[in-house]
Structure 1
Amino acid sequence: MYFPYFRGKQFELITIRENAQRLADVGFIPIIEPVRENLAGLDRALAAICAADGQAVVVVNPMYGSLRNDAEPISSLLEEKYLLRSNVSAGVLLTAEMDLSDAIACYEVHERYNPSFLHAGFAEARALANFLQEKGGRRGQIFVDEGDKLYQRHFSRLPRVLIKDGFKRQKRNTDYPFVEKFSELHLTYALDGYTGFGDFLTVGDDYAESGGPAYSVAIHLTFIDPRYDNVMFVYHFKSLRSDTPDDPAGKFAEALQGMMATVNGPNSLVFESEALAEFRSLHARGHFPGLGYVKKLSMQHHIETLAHYFTTHKR
């Protein structure tokens, strides 16, 4: 089972909303960490998930963004719109700054939403495991990066999901190689005793409120390579120019031309997704839709690629 982790900016939420049926059909469960004070986009994304009879996990105590120090609006949205919806569950993010009392307090406030714990630097594993044992049930545990195996040992009898960042973010788009390994977690998660896996798609775990000026435009496109035991790789198609932040449309056209040269080749391994079809349409029309839209297509292609893999390979 795949758990893509989204930080809830505009185009991340649009990606979820527009792919809600696709996610539901293959049993993919998005984890959404709200980072914007305006929750209208989150509400629309969750409504689409519910309409598709899918599932989502909403982080109720985000680490980043406008709601980091006041997450009450998230709890209010869940109570007003999704209290009776089993499709939407709460995620309690356990960071290094939290102690056991913080974790339990957040859990108990959201207990009606079938909460999961997302482990991201929390230290009091034994005490938390004892608390969960007293509560009973088999609540899923989500580990953001593998971390300490001794820590995870305390939760070995519970369903466990591993979220691992496969996207090696660079400070400058010009620094990306043409192609590099992304992940093999979709192949190995079950071998390591996990019931599911996730990643941060083609955005990565590094968080920034907004991007800086684009001296170079890069389009990130994942693919699965059967020549290497179905490991996932990622292409970074970059613009030819990177000297000034001017002409993002022209630079997008340069990066897109590089993509077309690769995906139209006779030995292309890139899945012919709906997102790729849209890239082809943009190329044919010579249209620049904006960098946020490009990011959305990249994320959608990643979802489609994994959906195709799991529908054509036994889990």
Structure 2
Amino acid sequence: MYHPYFRGKQYELITIRENAQRLAKAGFLPIIEPVRESLGGLQKALKAVCEAKGKVVVVVNPHYGDHSAGGDSISTLLADGFLDTPGVEAGVLLKNGMSLADAMGCFEAHKAHSPTLIHAGFTDGKGLADALGNELGAARHVFIDEHSSKLYRRHFKDGHRVLVKDGFERRRNRDHPDSEFFSDLHITYADDGMDGFGDFLTVGDDYSESGGPAYAIAIHLTFIDPAADDAMFIYHFKSDRMDTPTDPAGKFAEALEKLVAAVDAPGSKIYPTEAVAEFKALREKAHFPGLGYVKKLSMQHHIETMARYFA
């Protein structure tokens, strides 16, 4: 089914925590790659998932952020706090330049947490498949589309396979079109021989610690279009002013006006989610909650839209 891939920034972890019940009910399995040294937010998110009787994969050897040099503290958190919790699984990120011995060593070290293998640039697919032996079929294999070829994926055809594609095009906010294609993977993943699919929500795979000053404010909302074979598209509601980094609250109000107009337009294809209702409430109160909160609502809307599609 659906595997949303989160980097563990504050508002991404809050999104998981606040949507734990929704994710569990829909049968979605989020993947978290922790990027912050402090693991308090991650621990709260994992507890919320467990309380909702959901499942989650936690990357124990992140590529980005504060744990990129080693994820020992993440492994310790899983071992000390979630060893007897079947819903919390370890994710082993298989990166370019990683040796077969290191890949298998990480897999073996986290067997108690039913490790998921995340293929993200690792090149020795045949060697890994041979080393896994009978365990290949029992493991979940998540393939990051941009970093795993079809030829590479063939080595793992006997396992449970998930394809993750990035549907979000990274640009300056001012350069986004008003709307564009996002993904059709929710429809076509089985055609690719996959058992599930995923994406990087409305954030994208490109990682940065922090953005520069926002000359334009943009709110990103996905929608499924029945007239286009249920393909998913994304709106980029942009502020009118884009020349200076001043007045983010006023620019948010400009973008929000466009969002509400699109939601209320006759024949709108935007699903009226709880996140959309909160956007409308922010407009009524003329309140700017900060860009992190706006990103959280955008991600929540995406999750709600996926949940509705598969309901």
TM-score with structure 1 setting the length: 0.97
Match of 2:286 in 1: 286
Q: Which moved more, 1:127-136 or 1:88-97?
A: 127-136
Counterpart residue type for residue 118 of structure 1: I
Cα distance in 1 for partners of 2:139, 2:283 equals 46
Structure 2 residue 193 is matched with structure 1 residue 163: no
What root-mean-square deviation, in Å, do the aligned CA atoms of Structure 1 and Structure 2 show?
Answer: 0.9
Q: Could you tell me how far 1:137 is from its partner in structure 2?
A: 4.8
Which residue number in structure 1 is paired with residue 41 of structure 2?
Answer: 41
Q: Tell me the equivalent position of 2:144.
A: 144
| Pair 1:139–1:22, CA change in 2 (3 A) | same
Q: Offset at 1:140? A: 1.0
The answer for the alignment partner of 2:54 in structure 1 is 54
CA distance in 2, matches of 1:184, 1:295: 22
Distance 2:134 2:27 in 1: 30
Shift of 1:33: 0.1
Using the TM superposition, give the Cα deviation of residue 216 of structure 1 relative to its aligned residue in structure 2, in angstroms.
0.5
SS in 1 for 2:211: coil
Matched, 1:272 2:272: yes
- Paired amino acid for 1:47: K
Distance 2:277 2:180 in 1: 23
Distance in 1 separating the partners of 2:310 and 2:157? 25
Whether 1:210 and 2:210 are equivalent positions in the alignment is yes
User: SS of the residue aligned with 1:154?
Assistant: helix
Match of residue 233 from structure 1 = 233
SS at match of 1:3: strand
Q: Which runs of 4+ in 1 moved over 4 A?
A: none
Partner SS state of residue 74, structure 1: helix
Q: Which residue in 1 is equivalent to 2:175?
A: 175
Residues 115-140 of structure 1: per-residue CA shift (max 9 Å, x gap):
01100110110010011214465211
Change (3 A) 1:136 1:300: closer
Matches within 5 A, 1:105-116: 105-116=105-116
Q: After superposing the two structures, state which structure 1 stretch, 54-63 or 97-106, moved more.
A: 97-106
- Code of the aligned partner of 1:192: D
Residue by residue over 1:241-263, the C-alpha shift from the partner in whole angstroms, topping out at 9 and shown as x without a partner, is 01111110000000001111111
Partner of 1:85: 85
Give the Cα–Cα distance (whole angstroms) in 2 for the partners of residues 74 and 182 of structure 1. Answer: 32
Q: TM-score, normalised by structure 2?
A: 0.98
Deviation at 1:70, TM superposition (A): 2.4
Q: 1:4 to 1:136 in 2, by over 3 A?
A: closer
Distance (Å, rounded) in 1 between the aligned partners of 2:225 and 2:258: 19
User: Which ranges of structure 2 fall in alignment gaps of 5 or more residues?
Assistant: none
Higher helix fraction: Structure 1 or Structure 2? 2
Instruction: State the alpha-carbon separation in 2 of the partners of residues 207 and 70 from structure 1.
Output: 18
Q: Which amino acid aligns with 2:110?
A: H
| 1:99 CA drift (Å) | 1.1
CA–CA distance in structure 2, aligned partners of residues 20 and 11 of structure 1? 14
Moved more, 50-59 or 103-112: 103-112
1:70-94 per-residue CA deviation (whole Å, 9 max, x = no partner) reads 2111011001100010000000000
1:223 correspondence with 2:256: no
Cα shift at 1:267: 1.5
The SS at the match of 2:38 is: coil
Count of aligned pairs between the two proteins: 310
Alpha-carbon distance in 2 for matches of 1:233, 1:119: 26
Paired residues for 1:125-144 under 5 Å:
125-135=125-135, 137-144=137-144
Which whole-Å deviations, capped at 9, do the CAs of 1:191-237 have from their partners, x for residues lacking one? Answer: 22111000000000000011111110000000000000000000000
Instruction: Report the 3-state secondary structure (helix = DSSP H, G, I; strand = E; otherwise coil) of the residue aligned with 1:35.
Output: coil
Unaligned residue ranges in structure 1 (runs of 5+): none
The AA in structure 1 aligned to 2:157 is S
